[in-house]
Amino acid sequence: MHGEKATDRRIVTLDGADALHFLQGLVSNDVRPLETGAGLVWAALLTPQGKYLADFLIARLPDGTLLLDLPEALADATLRRLNMYRLRADVRLAPSSLHVLRGLGPAPEGAFPDPRHPALGWRLYTTTPGTDPAIDWDAIRVAHVIPDAGRELIPDDSYILEAGFERLHGVDFRKGCYVGQEVTARMKHKTELRKGLVRVRITGDAPFGSPILADGREAGTLFTRSGDHALAHLRLDRATGPMQAGEATITLAPDNVA
């Protein structure tokens, strides 16, 4: 099968008459477009205080099947949280035997473009296993400032607007209420973001998670590195010149995306 298997994902079937309505009241994005046809939506599950808990892709296949495409590292906790919210809703979550394949270039029949960014290519949900992973997805993420669950996106800590969810089509400000909506809307409309996920240039060595210092003051955290660039969460008011992380020198990339 054309495409490599995404080995770090878990696929779950979402069934029941209330399935989409259930998600609509919980996640950051508008899932109503999936009521009328096949598609793929990226969304986050937040705490009532607006902090990130998990993100996942919601797929509706051409036959009407609804799937959750979850990061494996957060899948168990995410499913526990969804089941806690389920209460009496007609919603059932069950393991799926489907694989998710992903790739770049021409997409096979039935594949969806990744809704986050064109550079992430396409995703296909199929019974046929794909090839072993070969694409350097971290390089793509660093180049386009795309966060990853459990790395740049930290449960109970990250805020999705600081992580670029608006730019990456992961939040809708017109959909109405969902868990964490009030804090997210307030960050959008009443404040100017002082922190954000950005691309930086790095010279020297520093491990993942290193604190970044600017003139001896804490300025942020270093995350995924690819070559001489990396992702970092920074206080933007302190990222005005050279910074230090471990033995490395950090500067904002000229084309960084906050």
pLDDT, one tens digit per residue, over 143-154 is 999 999 999 999
pLDDT digit string, tens, across residues 196-242? 999 999 999 999 999 999 999 999 999 999 999 999 999 999 999 99
Residue type, 250: I
Contacts of 109 (CB under 8 A, 6+ apart): none
pLDDT > 70 fraction of the chain, expressed in percent and rounded: 98
pLDDT > 90? residue 190 = no
pLDDT for 192 equals 81
Question: Residues 187-199: what's their mean pLDDT?
Answer: 89
Domain 4-141 matching CATH 3.30.70.1400: the answer reads yes
Residues carrying CATH 3.30.70.1400, the chain: 4-141
pLDDT digit string, tens, across residues 238-248? 999 999 999 99
Give the confidence band of 122 by pLDDT, cuts at 50, 70, 90.
very high
Given a contact cutoff of 8 angstroms between Cβ atoms, the answer to whether 160 and 150 are in contact is no
pLDDT > 60? residue 172 = yes
pLDDT > 80? residue 125 = yes
pLDDT digit string, tens, across residues 11-41? 999 999 999 999 999 999 999 999 999 999 9
Distance CA 175, CA 25 (A): 9
What does the block give as tokens for 111? 């594949």
Q: What's the predicted TM-score (pTM) here?
A: 0.95
pLDDT for 143 equals 96
Give the confidence band of 1 by pLDDT, cuts at 50, 70, 90.
low
Question: Within a 13 Å sphere around the CA of 79, how many CA atoms are in the beta-carbon half?
Answer: 18
Domain 194-258: which CATH class? mainly beta
Contacts of 54 (CB under 8 A, 6+ apart): 44, 45, 70, 71, 74, 77, 78, 81, 149, 155
Give the confidence band of 257 by pLDDT, cuts at 50, 70, 90.
low
Residues carrying CATH 2.40.30.110, the chain: 194-258
| Overall size of the chain counted in residues | 258
pLDDT for 104 equals 97
pLDDT > 70? residue 103 = yes
